[in-house]
């Protein structure tokens, strides 16, 4: 069947070649339109309960995404120049589309600088910044519990501007442009005064990851192409064959990314490695076709060149098809994960390798039909021959030692596996010297924690939050929370009401407290509605059934946030009556849920891929014994890789979580080729002789492909995102371990069992 198809492709080669070129050009146009999006939303499938809860929170209270600007003066923030800078910056930021509101020290103190001494309303006091006035202002600010550790540090040297973004439906698409406008405004105002600012926040981290992802995508492919080209030339020593191989993977990559763009997908920290994966794995698959064709050309005198091409490609088409299927299974298993990105990665990865298989057969046939074929291949180099011979000698003479050592390595890996943790840390993905990470650490050190963890107090009855008792309970809970060293401060409706109560009592310091009676509470609410109708909107909903409590915590990993959330919720136990419910809300619970989703995704995908792959091996080889035997060398690299992660404390995160399923789909390819060659040789030779034959033929191709694959994955170590670096390094380790698993462990088992199939 394959031979007839290949002959048809060769006869119609100009038609196929023209069609391929047109398709590559068309898909290249769409692929060029792909954007980058590393926001939290891209991880969740539509109608995910946690995501819906977040949308409800935004509907009631607006967007909880905050961009934090920190400004420090070594002496004091309280000077006319600094206050003027804060005022100018705040005014510019408020006018940016996409910015909902800006909280600053000036706003908190209700001041604006006014050289004309023109008075305005009492909540927007204008004044001339004399030394005496500023000294009074400093004293007032540092004694105001509403400002200290929220907008001003306790030493008066560092202040924050909190920029709240609007709850836009297309915030993910517009975030980068909004942040760029914010940075331009900050650069303009701070540069005029030769001052320096720090920028932080969840959105700022995403923006940095987006830029790095886009940069990495532009680096990985060119370097990978260069490395693969050099290695192909070293292995093939034929320029035409190298160009055919690059044409296969290049076309497949462009076509896949075109489909990716047409599906409306954006690149992210995970899917950005898809083109590199297609490149290095596709080259490895093409090598099997090239090796077979070169050997056929060297040893076959068939006069019909096209017939010779078709026969040689058809000879490896079936094992290549099955190795493609096993790789596809490994990727498709990721679609069972409850995480949108992993579903996309698995689906488009599988599609890419199917495209690559088709192109490997057709483009090879077309390319070879145009070229003069070499009479041999330089894959029989001294170095390669030496490696194969050494491996075979070790296996034959020390097979028991090989099995003992490999068993010890497996035991070591299993212990490491139990030390493995699942976690993800967005800011931790950045290198320690990245400006965003440096700024975040500066703010936390010099000011305090700024990342908002949101809670909602839900009353079952309308106006239930207006109860004095409920407000007192919220205040008591806040005090418990603020005693936690992982918390800098809290803010809620209670704080706003205490401030209003103080204003109503002529700003007496001892009146910063909750209204004591229902009448005084009603008066405070009336005053707020009259002076600022939307003033309480960020803290309580219209019917007073939901109250928001914002807790400023350290920016940490998902597991760290989970622990903090659980502990703070535990602090509310026993405080509220049965008609009051307290739950975590806002953005961070989405982030925390990634731990569960990643764990479940890893388990479900691997549990599906593992049996399916080995069932397919059994069907393909028509041998249950060989299928069972194949399990051992293929579990070895996976256990070793996960064990190394456990010992080195590398977590399964948004990139490395895919390793087990992907590596299984990749490394099993060589196992299929090895066992296929072994069974084929057994039809004419003894088990020992068959093993020697397959070691000298397929073993060479396996070492060659391992060299290309591991080198290609090592390119990912150039990434600026830590998880991608780990993915590249760990994948290289797994591939080397896979070759050792096949050529040492599986070969030793075959020799020990003397298996006759």
pLDDT bucket at 41, cuts 50 / 70 / 90: low
pLDDT value of residue 444? 93
Q: What distance in Å separates the CA atoms of residue 34 and residue 602, rounded to the nearest whole number?
A: 27
CA nearest 58: which of 191, 166, 148, 159? 166
Same domain? For 94 and 143 the reply is yes
- Please tell me the distance from the alpha carbon of residue 376 to that of residue 291, in angstroms, as a whole number: 9
Q: Specify if 176 maps to a domain.
A: yes
Q: Which residues contact 651 (CB under 8 A, 6 or more apart)?
A: 420, 421, 422, 423, 424, 557, 645
Closest residue by Cα to residue 284 from 217, 346, 353: 353
pTM listed for this prediction: 0.78
Q: What is the mean pLDDT of residues 301-318?
A: 77
Please indicate, yes or no, whether residues 24 and 70 belong to a single structural domain of this protein: no
Same domain, 254 and 386: yes
CB 228 within 8 A of CB 241: no
- The CATH number of the domain where 119 resides is what? 3.30.70
pLDDT recorded at residue 117: 37
Q: Is the pLDDT of residue 376 over 60?
A: no
Contact between 229 and 717 (Cβ < 8 Å): no
Residue after which a domain boundary falls, among 179, 200, 221:
200
pLDDT in tens, 428-450: 888 888 999 999 999 999 999 99
Lowest mean pLDDT among 12-16, 360-364, 630-634: 630-634
- Is residue 558 within 8 A of residue 425, CB to CB? The reply is yes
Please write the tens of the pLDDT for every residue from 576-612: 888 899 999 988 888 888 777 777 777 777 778 788 8
What would the two tokens of residue 553 be? Answer: 């915590």
- What sign results for the dihedral spanned by CA atoms 390, 396, 402, 403? positive
Burial status of residue 192 (CB atoms within 10 A of its CB: 0-12, 13-18, 19 or more): exposed
List Cα–Cα distances, 737 to 322, 348, 457, in angstroms: 22, 27, 53
My answer on whether 411 and 464 are in the same domain is no
Co-location of 106 and 196 in the same domain: yes
What's the average model confidence in pLDDT over 750-756? 74
The whole-number average pLDDT for the span 372-387 is 58
Query: Quick one: CA dihedral 484, 596, 353, 42, positive or negative?
Result: negative
* pLDDT tens by residue, 689-718: 888 888 877 787 788 778 877 887 888 788
The residue to which tokens 């109860």 are assigned: 467
pLDDT band at 375 (very low <50, low <70, confident <90, very high): very low
Residues 655 and 741 in one domain: yes
- Pull the structure tokens for residue 720: 């600026």
Residues in contact with 680: Cβ distance below 8 Å, sequence separation at least 6, in sequence order: none
Same domain, 175 and 253: no
Q: How confident is the model at residue 379 (pLDDT cuts 50, 70, 90)?
A: very low
Most confident listed range (165-179, 337-351, 456-470): 456-470
**What is the chain's mean pLDDT, rounded?**
84
Cα–Cα distance measured from residue 344 to residue 239, given in angstroms and rounded to the nearest whole number: 36
Per-position DSSP letters for 380-433, written without gaps between them: G-HHHHHHHHHHHHHHHHSHHHHHHHHHHHHHHHHHHHTT--B---TGGGB-TT
Q: In the sheet that 99-103 helps form, which strands lie side by side, from edge to edge?
A: 99-103, 158-165, 66-72, 197-200
Same domain, 607 and 554: no
CA dihedral 7, 9, 12, 13 (to 10 degrees): -110
- Please choose, from the candidates 85, 78, 176, 67, the residue with its C-alpha nearest in 3D space to the C-alpha of residue 130: 78
Q: Is residue 20 included in any domain, yes or no? A: yes
More confident residue, 581 or 370: 581
Q: What mean pLDDT is predicted for residues 472-501? A: 93
Structural domain tally of the chain?
3
pLDDT greater at residue 654 or residue 160: 160
Comparing 221 with 179, the larger pLDDT belongs to 179
β-pairing, 111-113 vs 487-492, is unpaired
How far apart, in whole angstroms, are the C-alpha atoms of residue 460 and residue 169? 29
Dump the DSSP string for 33-77.
T--B--SGGGGS-TT-HHHHHHHHHHHHH----EEEEEEE-SS-S
Give the pLDDT score at 121: 39
Q: What is the pLDDT of residues 193-252, one digit of tens each?
A: 889 999 999 889 888 887 887 777 677 768 877 887 887 787 777 788 888 888 898 899
- Cα–Cα distance list, 185 to 159, 332, 468, 502 (Å): 18, 46, 43, 35
Distance of alpha carbon 569 from alpha carbon 581, whole angstroms: 10
Distances from the Cα of 420 to the Cα of 414, 545, 661, 730, angstroms: 10, 43, 16, 14
Q: Which pLDDT value is given to residue 239?
A: 80
- Whether 619 and 697 map to the same domain: the answer is yes
Q: Are residues 581 and 610 in the same domain?
A: no
| Residue 48 maps to a domain | no
649 and 670 share a domain? yes
Compute the distance between CA of residue 270 and CA of residue 646 in angstroms, rounded to an integer.
21
Domain boundary among 543, 571, 586: 586
C-alpha span between 679 and 318 (Å, rounded) = 14
Record the tokens describing residue 282, joined without a space: 């596709």
Range of the domain at 149: 65-200
Q: Residue 390, Cα to own-chain centre: how many angstroms?
A: 41
Position 39 scores a pLDDT of 66
| Residue 244 to residue 223: CA distance in whole angstroms | 18
Residue 391 has pLDDT above 90, yes or no: no
Q: What pLDDT, on a 0 to 100 scale, did the predictor assign at position 112?
A: 59
Of the given ranges (238-247, 312-321, 342-351, 598-607), which has the lowest mean pLDDT?
598-607
Buried b (16+ CB within 10 A) or exposed e, 143-168: ebebbbbbbbbeebbbbbbbbbbbbb
> Pick from 163, 180, 200: which residue ends a domain?
200
Asked if 285 and 414 sit in the same domain, the reply is yes
Q: What is the dihedral of CA 295, 300, 301, 302, to 10 degrees?
A: -110
The torsion angles phi and psi of 512, rounded to 5 degrees, stand at: -75, 80
Query: Is the model more confident about 183 or about 229?
Result: 183
Among 270, 328, 271, smallest CA distance to 653 is for 270
What is residue 671's predicted lDDT score, i.e. its pLDDT? 84
Residue 604 burial (CB < 10 Å; 0-12/13-18/19+)? middle
**Alpha carbons 46 and 69: distance in angstroms, whole number:** 33
Lowest-confidence range among 42-56, 379-393, 425-439? Answer: 379-393
pLDDT at position 223: 81
């Amino acid at each position: 069947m394959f031979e007839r198809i290949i002959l048809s492709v060769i006869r119609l080669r100009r038609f196929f070649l023209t069609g391929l070129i047109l398709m590559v050009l068309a898909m290249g146009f769409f692929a060029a339109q792909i954007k980058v999006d590393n926001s939290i939303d891209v991880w969740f499938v539509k109608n995910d309960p946690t995501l819906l809860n977040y949308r409800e929170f935004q509907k009631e209270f607006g967007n909880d995404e905050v961009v934090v600007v920190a400004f420090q003066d070594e002496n004091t923030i309280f000077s006319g120049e600094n206050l003027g800078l804060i005022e100018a910056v705040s005014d510019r930021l408020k006018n940016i589309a996409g910015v909902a509101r800006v909280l600053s020290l000036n706003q908190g103190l209700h001041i604006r600088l006014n050289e004309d001494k023109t008075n305005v309303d009492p909540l927007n006091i204008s004044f001339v910044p004399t030394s005496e006035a500023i000294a009074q202002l400093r004293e007032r600010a540092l004694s105001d519990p509403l400002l200290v550790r929220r907008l001003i540090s306790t030493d008066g040297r560092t202040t924050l501007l909190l920029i709240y973004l609007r709850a836009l439906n297309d915030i993910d698409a517009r975030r980068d442009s909004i942040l760029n406008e914010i940075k331009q405004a900050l650069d303009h105002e701070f540069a005029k005064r030769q001052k320096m600012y720090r920028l932080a926040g969840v959105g700022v981290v995403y923006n940095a990851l987006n830029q790095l992802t886009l940069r990495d995508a532009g680096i990985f492919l060119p370097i990978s192409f260069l490395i693969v080209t050099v290695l192909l030339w070293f292995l093939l020593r034929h320029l035409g064959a190298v160009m055919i191989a690059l044409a296969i993977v290049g076309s497949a990559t462009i076509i896949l990314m075109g489909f990716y763009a047409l599906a409306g997908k954006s690149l992210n920290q995970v899917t950005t490695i898809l083109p590199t994966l297609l490149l290095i794995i596709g080259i490895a698959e093409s090598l099997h076709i090239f090796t077979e064709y070169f050997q056929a050309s060297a040893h076959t005198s068939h006069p019909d060149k096209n017939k010779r091409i078709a026969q040689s490609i058809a000879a490896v088409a079936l094992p290549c098809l099955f190795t493609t299927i096993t790789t596809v299974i490994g990727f498709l298993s990721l679609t069972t994960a409850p995480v949108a990105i992993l579903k996309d990665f698995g689906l488009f990865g599988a599609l890419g390798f199917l495209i690559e298989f088709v192109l490997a057969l057709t483009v090879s046939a077309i390319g070879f039909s145009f070229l003069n074929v070499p009479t041999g291949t330089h894959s029989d180099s001294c170095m390669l021959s030496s490696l194969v011979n050494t491996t075979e000698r070790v296996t034959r003479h020390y097979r028991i030692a090989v099995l003992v050592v490999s068993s010890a390595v497996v035991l070591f890996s299993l212990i490491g596996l139990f030390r493995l943790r699942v976690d993800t840390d967005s800011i931790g993905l950045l290198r320690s010297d990245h400006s965003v990470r440096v700024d975040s650490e500066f703010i936390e050190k010099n000011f305090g924690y700024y990342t908002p963890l949101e809670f909602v107090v839900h009353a079952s009855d309308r106006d239930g939050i207006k109860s004095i008792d409920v407000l007192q309970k919220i205040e008591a809970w806040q005090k418990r929370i603020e005693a936690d060293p992982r918390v800098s401060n809290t803010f809620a409706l209670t704080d706003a009401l205490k401030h209003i109560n103080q204003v109503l009592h002529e700003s007496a310091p001892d009146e910063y407290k909750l209204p004591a009676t229902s009448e005084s509470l009603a008066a405070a609410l009336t005053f707020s509605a009259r002076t600022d109708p939307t003033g309480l909107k960020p803290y309580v909903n219209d019917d007073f059934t939901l109250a928001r409590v914002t807790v400023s915590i350290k920016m940490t990993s998902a597991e760290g946030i989970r622990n903090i959330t659980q502990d703070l919720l535990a602090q509310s136990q026993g405080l509220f009556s049965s008609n009051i419910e307290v739950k975590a809300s806002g953005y961070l619970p989405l982030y925390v849920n990634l731990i569960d989703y990643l764990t479940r995704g890893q388990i479900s995908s691997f549990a599906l891929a593992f049996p399916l792959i080995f069932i397919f091996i059994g069907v393909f080889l028509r041998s249950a014994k060989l299928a069972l035997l194949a399990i051992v060398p293929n579990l070895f690299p996976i256990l070793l890789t996960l064990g190394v992660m456990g010992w080195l404390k590398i977590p399964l995160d948004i990139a490395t979580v895919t390793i087990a399923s992907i590596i299984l789909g990749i490394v099993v390819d060589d196992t299929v080729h090895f066992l296929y060659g072994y069974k084929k040789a057994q039809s004419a030779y003894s088990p020992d002789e068959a093993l020697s034959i397959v070691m000298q033929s397929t073993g060479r191709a396996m070492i060659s492909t391992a060299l290309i694959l591991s080198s290609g994955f090592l390119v990912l170590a150039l990434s600026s995102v830590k998880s991608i670096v780990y993915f590249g390094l760990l994948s290289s380790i797994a591939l080397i371990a896979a070759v050792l698993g096949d050529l040492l462990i599986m070969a030793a088992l075959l020799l020990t069992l003397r298996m006759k199939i």
